[in-house]
């Protein structure tokens, strides 16, 4: 089928939950994507922070091909070697003790919420516990994850939400403290807010929440679905603060394209879930976990974290220069290779022009362009992106 036939077929058969660009992506190589018409795009979106290793990495592809020929799926009533190895690698990288593999980030959040509630139930036998989440948060669109996502537009048609959710102001410790009571069982937030506009947690905020949780016997849940797996320059963003959560969620770059997520917990907390409390058919299957194992191996051999630190600092520097050049750029925010520039105009206008110029970008919040490229980009890729971005801004204003 040609490009228009593919688009027409999709529009006739898919539920219309996305306003898609009129582009059909066909293949990828390195940090570049190609559409069915042969046009090349420099990718600074990475499938929304997923393809950390870039496209068509031979070692990654070969590992998946080998596992496909061996065993793709088996029930969780049995053990499989890739799941055991992936769990070992993930607990080591995160500093946590136990892991439950899911199919996605939103499922990881669902599991984290259930674990927090079960842990609290075992402590006092009550089922009316409360969770504090943050304004401008995004944790997913399933019912539990949606309940802790502060976006009325996402929620309004799907109420009532699960009860007992309160929302504090991100990076405002006093607003969190004001909501804590004897029913509070957990506090959940993204270590770096992504969809909300690329806002990293302030050191005094995350340290203060951790101290508050310790004093009150509350669980700290950190959502690192987007900002984890090396994107900030450490394997998990919270490691840069010297703070350890009780539960953490992961996904996106964990599988680098193969659907896999996870929630992890400290030993004491993890023991709250027993057989029958939680489950999944596909989570932790051999194919998904073989992908995760290879991702960790390639992060090490390719020195991905070192690259994120170096190129991430360069990206921030170049975006700061751009902000001084253009009055429509109010601020640059971010850490490592999760960066954002806040605009005074609709970012979608710039993003549309960028596509015309062979550059893929995504928005965040209402007025932010988000930069979440593959973690293997080079300074030369940044330079090329800046040239394309300037051209796009000039065309949009």
User: Prior bond to 152 cis, omega within 30?
Assistant: no
Closest CA to 335 of 243, 232, 234: 232
> Which of 44, 117, 236, 252 does the annotation list as catalytic?
252
Cβ-Cβ contacts under 8 Å for 139 (sequence gap 6 or more): 105, 106, 109, 133, 145, 146, 148, 149, 188, 190, 223, 225
Q: Residue 223 catalytic?
A: yes
> Which residues are paired to 43 by β-bridges?
360
Sequence-separated contacts (24+) of 299-304 with Cβ below 8 Å: 299/52, 299/230, 299/235, 302/53, 302/376, 304/52, 304/53, 304/230, 304/375, 304/376
Smallest CA-to-CA distance from 279 within 104, 41, 101 is with 101
Instruction: Indicate if 26 belongs to the active site.
Output: no
Cα(349)–Cα(363) distance, rounded to whole angstroms? 10
Q: What is the DSSP string of 302-319?
A: TTHHHHHHHHHHHHHHHH
- Which residue is associated with the tokens 């995504």? 362
Catalytic entry in 44, 101, 138, 189: 138
Query: What is the set of active-site residues?
Result: 138, 223, 252
């Amino acid at each position: 089928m040609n490009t228009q036939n593919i688009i027409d077929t999709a529009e006739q058969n898919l539920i219309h939950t996305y306003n898609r660009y009129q582009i059909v992506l066909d293949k990828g190589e390195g940090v570049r994507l190609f559409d069915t018409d042969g046009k090349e795009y420099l990718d600074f979106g990475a499938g929304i922070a997923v393809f950390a290793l870039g496209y068509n990495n031979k070692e990654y592809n070969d590992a998946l091909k080998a596992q496909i020929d061996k065993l793709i799926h088996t029930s969780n009533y049995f053990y499989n070697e890739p799941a055991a190895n992936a769990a070992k690698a993930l607990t080591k990288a995160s500093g946590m003790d136990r892991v439950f593999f899911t199919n996605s980030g939103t499922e990881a959040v669902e599991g984290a919420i259930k674990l927090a509630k079960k842990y609290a139930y075992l402590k006092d036998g009550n089922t009316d516990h409360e969770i504090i989440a943050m304004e401008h948060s995004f944790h997913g669109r399933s019912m539990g994850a949606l309940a802790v996502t502060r976006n009325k537009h996402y929620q309004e048609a799907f109420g009532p939400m699960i009860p007992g959710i309160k929302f504090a102001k991100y990076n405002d410790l006093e607003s969190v403290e004001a909501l804590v009571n004897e029913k509070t069982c957990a506090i959940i937030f993204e270590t770096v807010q992504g969809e909300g506009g690329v806002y990293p947690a302030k050191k005094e905020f995350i340290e203060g929440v951790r101290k508050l949780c310790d004093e009150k016997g509350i669980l700290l849940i950190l959502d690192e679905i987007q900002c984890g797996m090396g994107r900030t320059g450490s394997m998990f963003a919270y490691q840069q603060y010297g703070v350890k959560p009780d539960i953490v969620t992961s996904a996106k770059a964990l599988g680098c394209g193969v659907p896999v997520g996870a929630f992890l917990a400290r030993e004491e907390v993890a023991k709250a879930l027993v057989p029958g409390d939680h489950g999944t058919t596909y989570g932790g299957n051999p194919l998904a976990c073989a992908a995760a194992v290879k991702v960790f191996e390639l992060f090490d051999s390719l020195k991905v974290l070192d690259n994120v630190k170096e190129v991430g600092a360069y990206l921030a520097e170049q975006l700061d220069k751009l902000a001084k050049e253009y009055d429509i750029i109010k601020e640059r925010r971010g850490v490592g290779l999760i960066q954002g520039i806040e605009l005074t105009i609709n970012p979608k206008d710039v993003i549309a022009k960028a596509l015309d110029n062979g550059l893929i970008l995504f928005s965040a919040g209402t007025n932010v362009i988000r930069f979440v490229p593959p973690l293997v980009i080079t300074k030369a890729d940044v330079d090329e992106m800046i040239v394309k971005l300037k051209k796009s801004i000039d065309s949009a204003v």
